[in-house]
Amino acid sequence: MKKVAVILSGSGFLDGSEIQESVITLLTLDKAGVAYQCMAPNIEQMHVVNHFTGELSIGESRNVLVEAARIARTKIIDIALARPNDYDAVILPGGYGAAKNLSDFAVKGAESKVQEDVLHFTRAFAATGKPMGFVCIAPAMIPHIYGADAKLTIGSDEETARAITQMGGIHIQCPVDDFIVDEERKLVSTPAYMLDERISDVAKGIEKLVMKVLELADGK
């Protein structure tokens, strides 16, 4: 049975993983008969956001791994302990946590960096030549992982696309229910809630991404 690593960034779209994107990813993998392992870095979040008011919760701190365990139903590991060769593919759901905790793209844009443990695992996995999928804002990390000229999408947001281009990525506009493939790198991305569409439309794009990643893992 195939096994896919799913990298989470907390719990809640304003400061962690987008829960709906994450659940759609996990459900699609399970329906395809594929095993998955959730993982996240064992670090503090950049900040905590009150998801009712949308405002920062001043003085509150949360751990990315502990919060991500809410989505994973406790079945999660520290990404620092993960071994790339144990997996056939990797998928990163979106949510601002990808740009705040897994990287600092939300703050530094084109000057951003990827969190050390995440970068070590994803670069090592990319070097195996096996496929990876990136959802929503997570593709902003692709130039750091794959280097220049990797093809990707975050939908159609001009400012974000411009920053990605400055980082060396090749941004391609894409509707919510579709995906972009860099065949050379076995790299798949879909915009999901970057386009703020209905959950049913977001699900179409994520489901297609997951199935394409699995297809690439089969060598097709």
Tokens of 97: 């946590």
Domain hosting 140: range is: 3-217
Q: What is the pLDDT of residue 30?
A: 97
Band of residue 220 on the pLDDT scale cut at 50, 70, 90:
confident
Q: Total domain count for the chain?
A: 1
β-pairing, 132-135 vs 187-190, is parallel
Band of residue 10 on the pLDDT scale cut at 50, 70, 90:
very high
Q: What average pLDDT does the segment 63-83 reach?
A: 97
Q: What is the pLDDT of residue 139?
A: 98
Q: What is the pLDDT of residue 219?
A: 87
- Coil, strand or helix at 175: coil
Q: What is the pLDDT of residue 213?
A: 98
Q: What is the pLDDT of residue 161?
A: 96
Ramachandran assignment for 93, one of left (phi > 0), alpha (psi -120 to 50 degrees), beta (any other): beta
Residue length of the chain:
220
pTM exceeds 0.85 for this model: yes
pLDDT digits (tens, 9 = 90+) for 78-91: 999 999 999 999 99
Nearest to 167 by CA among 119, 118, 105, 101: 105
CA angle, residues 210, 175, 126, in degrees to nearest 5: 40
Identify the active-site residue in 79, 132, 136, 138.
Answer: 136
Greatest alpha-carbon pair distance for the chain in Å reads: 50
β-pairing, 180-182 vs 187-190, is antiparallel
pLDDT digits (tens, 9 = 90+) for 131-179: 999 999 999 999 999 999 999 999 999 999 999 999 999 999 999 999 9
Tokens of 29: 């993998």
CATH number at residue 204: 3.40.50.880
Q: Is 136 known to be catalytic?
A: yes
Q: What average pLDDT does the segment 45-49 reach?
A: 97
Nearest to 64 by CA among 21, 112, 119, 7: 7
pLDDT digits (tens, 9 = 90+) for 106-116: 999 999 999 99
Q: What is the pLDDT of residue 3?
A: 97
Q: What is the pLDDT of residue 1?
A: 83
CA of residue 175 relative to chain centroid, distance: 18
Surface-to-core class of residue 150, CB atoms within 10 Å of its CB (0-12 exposed, 13-18 middle, 19+ buried): buried
pLDDT digits (tens, 9 = 90+) for 18-31: 999 999 999 999 99
